[in-house]
């Protein structure tokens, strides 16, 4: 009934949790939603004002498919300020979120017979897009014991003559892990030697909690500029997930290819959104810092609270807004065989939505998003603990 490619692609498990939590909520159920992959903050006012102004001045027509020059230049200027790297507007394309930037890259760079290396636990869209492009994802596992650090050597060991690309996501969803600058340098150098593309998904680039240097952009620009694609968005940094604005930064020839795909699929990102994104990138950045500080507080609190039951173990994540605890020791007491069963029972009995590790290629773990208020987080963690204790007692007395 459907094309062959549909047998290769799986629906997004993260969106599934949100949908189920939403269904329960619409029935009036009090769900603590720790599944959300988006900021709970509103978009800052000056960004919304720019959008209103765009409407009022009738900036409501098609724009160039790759985005208005003002926004492409704003992206360059932001990266110059943040990373000390000069890009030209022709090296950028404005996309419908980081997702479309990554998708353009997958379709333009990878095809049947190619292998594309990435690390797990992963954000599921990464391997699915590689498969949609006809290529084969090659998965390198990272490990909970060292906070899921993305190490260079295992990634390099996975290179074969068919390797066409390496996708790095740092800070990583779902683990909050970072790749070190040393590891990024080693991967960039090896990829440069072999002509392998590097796609860096830095969507959470503004959500870094420690002072550790993390200038992946400069490393790629200096060591592997002719085959690197940097993908990001206003989504997480500026609380703009619904606006759908992202970008890819890549060699001008690659941008032309991405634009050919985009020009025949979605065309330009909403003109109003583009004006809002200009305000986000060029306007005051103190809102970003405020949100970062709040996320840091939440991260620290949730991490401590969760450990009140030592069967949940987790290194403190260093970026993004997720905790990715190991729940293997809590499964048996909770009467669950898998983290998927655990998450399902948690939602149906304790009304807490989390995302099971299976969807991220990490059974035995689950993802907590701390992009929600501190009160809801406290309530959520309490419910998780009570859920395990209640089931444990129930099993003991059965």
SS3 assignment, position 289: helix
CB of 311 to ligand PLP, least distance (A): 27
Binds ligand PLP (CB under 6 A): choice among 221, 233, 278, 280: 233
- Site membership for ligand PLP, residue 281 (CB under 6 A): no
Nearer to ligand PLP, 118 or 151 (CB): 118
Nearer to ligand PLP, 169 or 274 (CB): 169
**269/59 Cα distance (integer angstroms):** 13
- Site membership for ligand PLP, residue 367 (CB under 6 A): no
- Site membership for ligand PLP, residue 241 (CB under 6 A): yes
Nearer to ligand PLP, 172 or 255 (CB): 172
**258/77 Cα distance (integer angstroms):** 21
Nearer to ligand PLP, 184 or 336 (CB): 184
Nearer to ligand PLP, 204 or 342 (CB): 204
CB of 9 to ligand PLP, least distance (A): 16
Determine the residue with CB nearest ligand PLP: 97
Instruction: Residue 149: name the closest of 130, 126, 172 by CA.
Output: 172
- Site membership for ligand PLP, residue 355 (CB under 6 A): no
CB of 128 to ligand PLP, least distance (A): 12
Q: Strand 246-249 vs strand 136-141: parallel, antiparallel, or unpaired?
A: unpaired
- Site membership for ligand PLP, residue 235 (CB under 6 A): yes
CB of 26 to ligand PLP, least distance (A): 23
CB of 243 to ligand PLP, least distance (A): 9
268 neighbors 277 (Cβ within 8 angstroms)? no
Q: Strand 92-95 vs strand 136-141: parallel, antiparallel, or unpaired?
A: unpaired
Nearer to ligand PLP, 176 or 325 (CB): 176
- Residue 20, CA atoms < 13 Å, CB-side half-sphere: 18
User: Is the dihedral angle over the CA atoms 361, 258, 176, 237 positive or is it negative?
Assistant: negative
Residues 66-125 that bind ligand PLP (CB under 6 A): 97-99, 123
378 neighbors 305 (Cβ within 8 angstroms)? yes
Cβ-based burial of 60 (10 A; exposed 0-12, middle 13-18, buried ≥19): exposed
Cα dist from 249 to 125, 144, 238, 309, whole Å: 19, 31, 19, 44
Residues 184-213 that bind ligand PLP (CB under 6 A): 201, 203
CB of 231 to ligand PLP, least distance (A): 7
CB of 331 to ligand PLP, least distance (A): 26
CB of 169 to ligand PLP, least distance (A): 5
Instruction: Residue 9: name the closest of 130, 115, 98 by CA.
Output: 130
329 neighbors 387 (Cβ within 8 angstroms)? no
Interface mask toward ligand PLP for 159-178; x: CB under 6 A: ----------x---x-----
Residues 32-51 that bind ligand PLP (CB under 6 A): 37
Nearer to ligand PLP, 16 or 390 (CB): 16
165 neighbors 197 (Cβ within 8 angstroms)? yes
Nearer to ligand PLP, 235 or 326 (CB): 235
Binds ligand PLP (CB under 6 A): choice among 39, 137, 144, 246: 246
Neighbours of 307 (CB within 10 A): 14
- Site membership for ligand PLP, residue 254 (CB under 6 A): no
Category of 21 on φ-ψ map: left (φ > 0), alpha (ψ -120 to 50) or beta: alpha
Nearer to ligand PLP, 11 or 195 (CB): 11
Nearer to ligand PLP, 68 or 102 (CB): 102
326 has which bridge partners? Answer: 313, 365
- Site membership for ligand PLP, residue 214 (CB under 6 A): no
**249/101 Cα distance (integer angstroms):** 9
**197/107 Cα distance (integer angstroms):** 13
Residues lying near ligand PLP in the complex (CB under 6 A):
37, 97-99, 123, 169, 173, 201, 203, 233, 235, 241, 246
């Amino acid at each position: 009934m459907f094309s062959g490619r549909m047998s290769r692609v799986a629906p997004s498990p993260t969106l599934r949790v949100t949908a189920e939590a939403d269904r329960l909520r619409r029935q009036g159920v009090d769900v603590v939603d720790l599944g959300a992959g988006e900021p709970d903050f509103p978009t800052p006012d000056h960004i919304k004002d720019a959008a209103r102004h765009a409407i009022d001045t009738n900036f409501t027509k098609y724009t160039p498919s790759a985005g208005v020059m003002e926004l492409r230049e704003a992206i360059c200027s932001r990266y110059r300020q943040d990373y000390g790297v000069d890009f030209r507007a022709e090296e950028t394309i404005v996309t419908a979120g980081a997702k479309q930037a990554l998708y353009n890259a997958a379709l333009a760079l990878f095809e049947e017979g190619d292998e594309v290396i990435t690390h797990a636990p992963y954000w599921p869209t990464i391997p699915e897009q590689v498969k949609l492009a006809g290529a084969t994802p090659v998965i390198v596992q990272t490990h909970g014991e060292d906070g899921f650090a993305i190490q260079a050597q295992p990634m390099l060991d996975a290179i074969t003559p068919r390797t066409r690309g390496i996708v790095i996501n740092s800070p990583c969803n779902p683990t909050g892990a970072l790749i070190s600058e040393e590891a990024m340098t080693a991967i960039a150098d090896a990829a440069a030697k072999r002509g392998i593309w590097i796609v860096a998904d830095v969507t959470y680039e503004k959500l870094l909690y420690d002072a550790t240097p993390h200038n992946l952009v400069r490393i790629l620009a200096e060591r592997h500029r002719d085959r690197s694609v940097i993908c990001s968005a206003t989504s997480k940094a500026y609380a703009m997930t619904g606006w759908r604005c992202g970008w890819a930064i890549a060699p001008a020839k690659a941008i032309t290819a991405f634009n050919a795909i985009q020009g025949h699929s979605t065309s330009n990102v909403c003109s109003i959104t583009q004006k809002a994104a200009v305000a986000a990138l060029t306007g005051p950045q103190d809102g970003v810092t405020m949100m970062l500080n709040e996320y840091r507080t939440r991260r620290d609190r949730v991490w401590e609270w969760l450990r009140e039951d030592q069967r949940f173990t987790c290194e403190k994540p260093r970026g993004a807004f997720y905790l990715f605890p190991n729940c293997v020791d809590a499964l048996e007491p909770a009467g669950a065989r898998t983290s998927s069963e655990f998450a399902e029972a948690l939602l149906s009995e304790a009304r807490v939505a989390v995302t099971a590790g299976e969807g991220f290629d990490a059974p035995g773990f689950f993802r907590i998003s701390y992009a929600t208020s501190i009160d809801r987080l406290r309530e959520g963690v309490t419910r998780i603990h009570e859920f395990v204790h209640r089931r444990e007692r129930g099993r003991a007395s059965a």
